[in-house]
Amino acid sequence: MGKTSLISYVFDKPQIKDEYITINVDILHTTTFRELILALGTAVFESVATRSEKLRKQFVSFLKSLSASFGYDPIQNMPTFDIKLGDVQRPDYTLQEIFNYLESVEKPCLVVIDEFQQITRYPEKNVEALLRTHIQKLSNANFVFSGSRRRLMEEMFFSSKRPFFQSAKPLRLEPIKPEIYCDFARKHFHNADKSIDRDAFLHVYNSFWGVTFYVQRIMKDAFAETRVGEICDLEKVQQLMDDYIDENDSRLREQLAFITESQKELLYAIHAEREAQGITSMAFNRKYRLRSPSSTQSAALKLLEYDFITRNEKKYSISDPLLSLWLDKKMI
């Protein structure tokens, strides 16, 4: 729900920018602990070490495990961080060195690890415990753990069996209220001598469940397609939505190609219900001709893992509003 943009917005606030060294690490692309260390090291170097010659030299002196791999800029007479994945031979030791460095800098650090749930996919099994052990010892750094997979994030921080149990304060970002979002959009149209019907905006908002990414995309297209002096109406935004759904047709088909037939059958059943309850009951399985309650349970676990569906208070629903709209068109 717009968490990454919100983080950037907050980082630019004077009360944050002037008081903290801000470090933003996106780890969505990482698949191993070594890749995490490389991403973290790169972010710390770019956000902290490049602030002064002193901080840069300190960074090199603290990261002894990588010292032989640092590059050097002869023009600026400075070390450069051109570390490759193969250079990270002892990731647990390098992690300790990075955190020791953060402890040594003069300003407190604010570290955001975006898509934090990605660490649960690493083949190494002790990453959560290792990070928790080091982080709880730090006194000069505060951490924000940001993630888009709500179920995985809740398991990490709410389960008493996990290392990060009750170690952070939860903050869930809800959709922007429709009336606030609508006024915002109409103001921008008005400032450009254009207009958008309130009903047209609300149709987009409700169709995409208020998800910022999609609402912003359709509003951007609507703004571009509306000439000065014209009004963007319900028919126009529906056409833009249809075009956007068609634009993503191949991608969504490819996504579905990676799940099994039984998982597809359950996905279609949940979509038909909008909010499905009792999916392992005989009644639900008979209604949608599913194979068996046990097969449905297994399929549900996989769909949750792949983020095709979400579970909230024993109710299952499609996670992605775009996928839901695409299924509406394809299953007529």
Predicted pLDDT of residue 301 = 94
Pairing of strands 309-312, 315-318: antiparallel
CATH 1.10.8 is held by the domain 178-247: yes
CATH class of the domain defined by 3-158: alpha beta
Alpha-carbon distance 185 to 180, whole Å? 9
- Pairwise CA distance, residues 24 & 8, whole Å: 9
How much is the pLDDT for 53? 84
pLDDT at 68: 63
276 and 317 Cβ atoms separated by less than 8 Å = yes
Report the SS3 class of residue 255.
helix
* pLDDT of 60: 86
Q: Quote the pLDDT of residue 332.
A: 56
* Amino acid 318: pLDDT: 96
Provide DSSP, 110-131.
EEEEETGGGGGGSS-S-HHHHH
Q: How far apart are CA 78 and CA 2, in angstroms?
A: 37
Beta strands 21-26 and 109-114 are: parallel
> Could you tell me if 267 and 259 are in contact, meaning their C-beta atoms sit under 8 angstroms apart?
yes
Residue 133, CA atoms < 13 Å, CB-side half-sphere: 9
Helix (H) or strand (E) holding 48: none
CB of 119 closer than 8 Å to CB of 128: yes
Local structure of 21: helix, strand or coil: strand
What single-letter DSSP state applies at residue 276? B
pTM, to two decimals? 0.81
Other C-beta atoms closer than 10 Å to the C-beta of 256 total 15
**How far does CA 70 lie from the centroid of its chain?**
31
pLDDT for residue 231: 97
The fold of 251-330 is: Arc Repressor Mutant, subunit A (1.10.10)
CB atoms within 10 A of CB 268: 15
What's residue 66's pLDDT?
A: 83
- CA nearest to 324, candidates 178, 211, 232: 211
User: In this predicted structure, what is the pLDDT of residue 187?
Assistant: 98
Cα separation, 222 vs 208, in Å, equals 15
Helices (H), the chain: 3-11, 14-17, 33-47, 53-62, 91-104, 127-135, 150-158, 178-191, 198-207, 212-225, 234-247, 249-256, 261-273, 282-287, 293-305, 321-330
List Cβ neighbours of 82 (8 Å cut-off, separation of 6 or more). Answer: 69, 70, 71
Contact 135, 100 (CB under 8 A): no
Residue 25 DSSP label: E
Domain map (residue ranges) of the chain? 3-158, 178-247, 251-330
- pLDDT number for residue 77: 67
Whether 114 and 28 have beta carbons less than 8 Å apart is answered as yes
What stretch of H or E contains 316? Answer: strand 315-318
Q: Which token pair is 30?
A: 């990482």
Tens place of pLDDT per residue across the chain (332 aa): 678 888 999 999 999 999 999 999 999 999 999 999 999 999 999 999 888 888 988 998 999 888 766 777 777 667 777 788 888 899 999 999 999 999 999 999 999 999 999 999 999 989 999 999 999 999 999 999 999 888 889 999 999 999 999 999 998 888 999 999 999 999 999 999 999 999 999 999 999 999 999 999 999 999 999 999 999 999 999 999 999 999 999 999 999 999 999 999 999 999 999 999 999 999 999 999 999 999 999 999 999 988 899 998 889 999 999 999 999 998 75
